[in-house]
């Protein structure tokens, strides 16, 4: 037992603490300035080469971008997207060891209208972003988020890809590019596209759409989908075939857990992979997925990469305000005590695959109306999803029966008013609701219940948190009407159709 007068003659062993005065792990000569992980310490020049090599390696490994293709870089002003712009700029410079062979462009989505920012605040942010874009020398496009209300219905259709995607065609394209252009660098002509004027009525519609969502989680999901639609439309209009995002390893690890919490398990393989081809002709790429947020922060600080802070829906909100905010805080706090947390989640995402039909081969009527992924609601009758639907229908039927018993005279008056169609014989649409729940002309604006049948499970939860689906942009409602009409027509002629 220990005693007060007991003395210890053995010396305690002191643990050796790693010193920062060690040499660089690559050149073995210079003093390191960056410690990425335990034992991985780089000097300034070696860290720059390591950072550039990782970006070129992931593009060369996947071989998705063909020589001469136009690639649109989605920039938000944050550290990750700003670092991506610098990597592309360095890859196209004359001093680059292995030059990039594509033609870049930049797009920035101004989301100030959804955040209730004033006109002056939005102009200041756009001016800062324009300075960064002009310094790169690439053509850029500044698009306000309010333009989603002017998008055509073709945004929700998958166009066939015009470029071949096979290994042999990629090698043939590279050989042809080297034969014709040699080692010359493709520098695009700089084009300054000013931000179009935003109408006050469109800003009010956007704010009304955001406010219609009851939870901050649903607001973030709606905003993300609208942003994706606008980026795809801009890429198609400007002739780009690839869309490049700045999602880093830390962001994808958080996104993986968020999607699982939101019921997007069937779409995980596409949402966190390097390439996403759900739109067909526009392929989304994530070349920064091998970088951690720590590496990007070190690189931007050492090499003075400019970035612009832009607030979002989570700015100045509490930790438990939404699923996205809570998951991000959980992963970041866990990463502090366990540095391998992000890498473990990220490596797990690389092994994910889906057994359902791919989004590229899925029929348009089997695709989600919002996220454009293949529907995951076509499951067996004994599944948990079908049990949830049955419980919801039974509770709705009970509520409707209670209302009918309370107001019998009102229902009789409604049935008599809907007995005849005002457009009968006139070739017009009256938009009057009849007993079966539809319009006598067959065309009306669908409500949330109608739209939910065209959505995947996660998007159904998002629409369920909205007070009204009528606030959605018109191109979404029009596409929903068209799919419903075609579905009814298919049911009518189903006995005359051959099986697939």
DSSP string, 206-272: HHHHHHTBSSHHHHHHHHHHHHHHHHHHHHHHHT--EEE----HHHHHHHHHHHHHTT-GGGHHHHS
Identify the pLDDT of residue 298: 94
Identify the pLDDT of residue 453: 83
Q: Boundaries of CATH 3.40.50.620 in the chain? A: 63-354
Strands (E), 23-121: 34-37, 40-42, 70-74, 103-110
CA neighbor of 125 nearest in space, from 193, 194, 77: 77
The dihedral sign for the CA sequence 372, 374, 375, 376: negative
Identify the pLDDT of residue 285: 95
- Burial class from Cβ neighbours inside 10 Å (0-12, 13-18, 19+) for residue 443 reads middle
CB 256 within 8 A of CB 349: yes
| CA dist., res. 412 & res. 419, Å (int) | 11
The angle subtended at Cα 111 by Cα 149 and Cα 102, nearest 5°, is 90
- Burial class from Cβ neighbours inside 10 Å (0-12, 13-18, 19+) for residue 433 reads middle
Phi, psi for residue 420 in degrees, rounded to 5? -125, 155
The secondary structure of residue 52, as a DSSP letter, is: H
| CA dist., res. 145 & res. 344, Å (int) | 35
Please report where in the chains the tokens 């065209």 appear, as a residue.
Answer: 454
| CA dist., res. 133 & res. 363, Å (int) | 39
| CA dist., res. 293 & res. 314, Å (int) | 18
Identify the pLDDT of residue 3: 60
The secondary structure of residue 281, as a DSSP letter, is: S
Residue 72 is encoded by which pair of tokens? 């649109």
Q: Are strands 192-193 and 40-42 parallel, antiparallel or unpaired?
A: unpaired
Which positions of the chain have pLDDT values less than 70? 1-21, 161-168, 181-196, 354-364, 379-384, 399-450, 500
CB 219 within 8 A of CB 210: yes
| CA dist., res. 52 & res. 102, Å (int) | 16
Identify the pLDDT of residue 419: 44
The secondary structure of residue 363, as a DSSP letter, is: -
CB 34 within 8 A of CB 41: yes
Please give the C-alpha separations between residue 55 and each of 58, 86, 91, 140, in angstroms, as whole numbers: 6, 11, 9, 22
Identify the pLDDT of residue 189: 63
Identify the pLDDT of residue 84: 96
CATH fold label, 63-354 = Rossmann fold (3.40.50)
| CA dist., res. 471 & res. 90, Å (int) | 44
Give the global pTM: 0.81
Contacts of 314 (CB under 8 A, 6+ apart): 216, 220, 321, 322, 324, 325
| CA dist., res. 299 & res. 296, Å (int) | 5
CB 78 within 8 A of CB 291: no
Contacts of 395 (CB under 8 A, 6+ apart): none
Element (H, E) at 144: strand 140-144
Identify the pLDDT of residue 105: 95
3-state secondary structure of 328: helix
């Amino acid at each position: 037992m220990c005693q007060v007068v007991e003395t210890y003659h053995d010396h305690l062993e002191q643990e050796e603490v790693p010193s920062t005065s060690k040499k660089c792990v690559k050149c073995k000569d210079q003093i390191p300035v960056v410690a990425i992980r335990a034992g991985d310490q780089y000097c300034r020049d070696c860290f720059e080469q390591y950072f550039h090599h990782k970006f070129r390696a992931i593009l060369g490994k996947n071989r998705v971008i063909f020589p001469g293709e136009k690639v649109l870089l989605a920039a938000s002003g944050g550290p990750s997207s700003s670092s991506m712009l610098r990597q592309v700029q360095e890859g196209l410079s004359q001093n680059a060891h292995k030059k990039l062979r594509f033609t870049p462009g930049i797009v920035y989505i101004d989301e100030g209208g959804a955040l209730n920012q004033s006109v002056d605040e939005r102009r200041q942010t756009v001016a800062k972003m324009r300075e960064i874009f002009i310094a790169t020398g690439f053509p850029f496009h500044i698009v306000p988020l309010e333009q989603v209300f002017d998008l055509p219905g073709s945004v929700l259709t998958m166009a066939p890809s015009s470029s071949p995607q096979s290994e042999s065609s990629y090698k043939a394209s590279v050989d042809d590019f080297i034969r014709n252009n040699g080692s010359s660098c493709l520098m695009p002509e700089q084009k300054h596209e000013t931000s179009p004027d935003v109408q006050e009525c469109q800003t009010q519609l956007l704010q009304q759409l955001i406010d219609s969502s009851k939870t901050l989680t649903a607001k973030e999901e709606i905003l993300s989908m609208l942003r994706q639609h606008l980026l795809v439309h801009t890429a198609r209009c400007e002739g780009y075939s690839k869309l490049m995002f700045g999602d880093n390893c830390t962001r994808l690890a958080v996104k993986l857990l968020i999607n699982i919490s939101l019921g997007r398990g069937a779409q995980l393989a596409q949402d966190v992979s390097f390439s996403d081809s759900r739109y067909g002709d526009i392929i989304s790429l994530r070349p920064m997925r091998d970088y951690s947020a720590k590496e990007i922060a070190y690189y931007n600080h050492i090499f003075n990469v400019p970035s612009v802070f832009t607030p979002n829906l989570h700015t100045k909100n509490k930790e438990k305000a939404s699923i996205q905010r809570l998951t991000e805080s959980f992963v970041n706090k866990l990463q502090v005590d366990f540095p391998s947390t992000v890498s473990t989640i990220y490596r797990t995402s690389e092994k994910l695959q889906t057994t359902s039909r791919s989004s590229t081969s899925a029929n348009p009527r089997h695709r989600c109306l919002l996220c454009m992924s293949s529907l995951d609601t076509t499951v067996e009758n004994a599944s948990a999803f079908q049990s949830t639907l049955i419980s919801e229908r039974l509770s709705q039927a009970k509520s409707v029966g209670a209302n009918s018993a309370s107001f019998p005279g009102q229902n009789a008056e409604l049935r008599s008013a809907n007995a005849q169609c005002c457009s009968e014989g006139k070739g017009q649409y009256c938009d009057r609701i009849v007993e079966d729940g539809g319009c006598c002309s067959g065309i009306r604006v669908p409500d949330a219940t109608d739209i939910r049948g065209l959505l995947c499970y996660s998007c159904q939860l998002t629409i369920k948190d909205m007070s009204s689906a009528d606030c959605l942009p018109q191109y979404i409602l029009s596409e929903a009407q068209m799919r419903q009409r075609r579905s009814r027509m298919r049911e009518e002629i189903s006995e005359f159709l051959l099986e697939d």
